[in-house]
């Protein structure tokens, strides 16, 4: 049970760390990849706008009629609004001359709905990314919304020897779909890699734990056996001690019994008088003295007895 809890806590800790690191890493990678995608889109739109401007300028320099040039440009760009980027051509007043959607031709930009700012170096990927995330026009960007407001002018390039301007549009809806697919791919990779990392870390922890736990378990087993042996030895020692104490108590009891009997025997002293054994009670004795190996016993009633036995012999008799 303790190992299961340890593995559970380890799994939770590793998952939390991987989630936090992966979350910020994924957010950073998504932003970097999105900026690269937008940078490619911006460069592609700039190149396309310059090429069209040079093409239109070349046709005008060749003496081709302006209306013919307009028709040629319209045929070239018509129907390209479904791409991530497209171009259109405006006159100096902001009127659409050529547009992938023919219905937009001839419409003037409404100042209340859009505005045009001069673009010197064009928009960079950071501004474009902020535009997509904040949904607000950035400095140097012209927004000419349609009913769905799904495109942004990201680059303007003038046509030489004319009052026309080539405008490079970014199809915001298409780009956002690409970014969403990119995020989804990153999310799938993040989830799969995180699961793989967590699983590998958990397996590694279990392998290392088992590798070091086996010697410890064997050592603990030996210690447990030694403790059990010591416990049995302590029990045997206690039992032996109890038996010894019991034996000592029995011996002491026997000695006390013998001493008690001796005490009872000492209540009387035996001696001889005229070849007769006389028992004299101890409390009747007034004095005892030994003289010339003869013991003299004087009683309280005045009687006197003599014995050739010593005091020790009388005491033990």
Span 127-142, average pLDDT: 54
Q: Which two tokens stand for residue 311?
A: 């005091």
The CA–CA distances, whole Å, from 257 to 214, 250, 260, 317 equal 64, 10, 5, 18
- Edge-to-edge strands, sheet with 151-158: 96-98, 85-90, 165-171, 151-158
Greater model confidence, 57 or 10: 57
pLDDT at 2: 61
Q: pLDDT tens-digit profile of 141-172?
A: 444 344 444 677 788 888 888 888 888 888 87
Say which range, 4-13, 65-74, 139-148, 199-208, has the weakest mean pLDDT: 139-148
Contact assessment for residue 141 and residue 154, using Cβ atoms and an 8 Å cutoff: yes
The percent of residues in the chain predicted with pLDDT above 70, rounded, is: 75
279 three-state secondary structure = strand
Confidence of residue 134 (pLDDT cuts 50, 70, 90): low
Do residues 267 and 317 touch, judged by C-beta distance below 8 A? no
**What is the signed CA dihedral for 17, 23, 24, 30, rounded to 10 degrees?**
150
Q: What is the mean pLDDT of the chain?
A: 77
Residues 115 and 99: their CA atoms lie apart, in Å, by 18
- Assess whether pLDDT exceeds 70 at residue 31: yes
pLDDT at residue 115 above 50? no
**What average pLDDT score do residues 11-17 get?**
85
Say if strands 96-98 and 151-158 run parallel, antiparallel, or are unpaired: unpaired
| Window from 24-38, 185-199, 202-216 with minimum mean pLDDT | 202-216
Tally Cβ neighbours within 10 Å of residue 179: 18
Q: For residue 51, give the 3-state DSSP assignment.
A: helix
Integer CA distances (angstroms), 270 to 85, 116, 295, in order: 145, 150, 12
Inter-residue long-range contacts of 282-288, CB under 8 Å, 24+ positions, other chains counted: 288/314
Q: Which domains does the chain have, with CATH numbers?
A: 2-195 (3.30.450.20), 264-316 (no CATH)
Q: Give the least confident one: 48-52, 84-88, 197-201, 277-281.
A: 277-281
Tell me how far CA of residue 173 lies from CA of 45, 56, 170, in angstroms.
16, 29, 9
206 Cβ partners below 8 Å, 6+ apart?
A: 7
Q: What is the pLDDT of residues 55-107, one digit of tens each?
A: 999 988 888 888 998 888 888 888 876 777 888 888 888 788 888 888 888 88
């Amino acid at each position: 049970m303790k190992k299961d809890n340890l593995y559970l806590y380890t799994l939770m800790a590793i998952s939390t760390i991987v989630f936090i690191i992966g979350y910020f890493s994924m957010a950073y990678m998504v932003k970097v990849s999105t900026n690269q995608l937008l940078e490619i889109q911006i460069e592609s739109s700039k190149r396309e706008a310059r090429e069209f401007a040079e093409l239109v300028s070349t046709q005008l320099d060749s003496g081709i009629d302006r209306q013919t040039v307009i028709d040629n440009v319209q045929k070239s760009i018509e129907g390209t609004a479904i791409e991530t980027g497209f171009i259109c051509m405006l006159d100096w007043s902001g009127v659409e001359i050529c547009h992938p959607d023919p219905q937009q031709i001839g419409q003037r930009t409404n100042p209340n709905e859009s505005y045009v700012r001069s673009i010197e170096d064009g928009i960079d990927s950071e501004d474009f990314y902020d535009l997509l995330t904040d949904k607000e026009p950035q400095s140097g960007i012209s927004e000419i919304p349609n009913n769905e407001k799904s495109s942004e002018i990201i680059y303007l390039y003038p046509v030489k020897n004319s009052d026309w301007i080539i405008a490079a549009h970014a199809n915001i809806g298409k780009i956002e779909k690409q970014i969403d697919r990119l995020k989804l791919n990153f999310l799938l990779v993040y989830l799969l890699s995180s699961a793989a990392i967590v699983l590998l870390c958990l397996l590694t922890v279990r392998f290392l734990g088992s590798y070091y736990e086996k010697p410890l378990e064997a050592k603990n087993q030996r210690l447990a056996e030694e403790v059990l042996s010591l416990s049995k030895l302590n029990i045997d020692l206690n039992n032996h001690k109890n038996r010894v104490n019991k034996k000592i108590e029995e011996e002491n009891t026997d000695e006390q019994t013998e001493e008690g009997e001796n005490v009872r025997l000492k209540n009387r002293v035996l001696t001889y008088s005229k070849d007769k054994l006389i028992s004299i009670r101890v409390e009747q004795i007034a004095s005892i003295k030994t003289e010339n190996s003869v013991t003299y016993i004087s009683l309280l009633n005045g009687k006197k007895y003599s014995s050739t036995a010593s005091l020790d012999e009388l005491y033990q008799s």
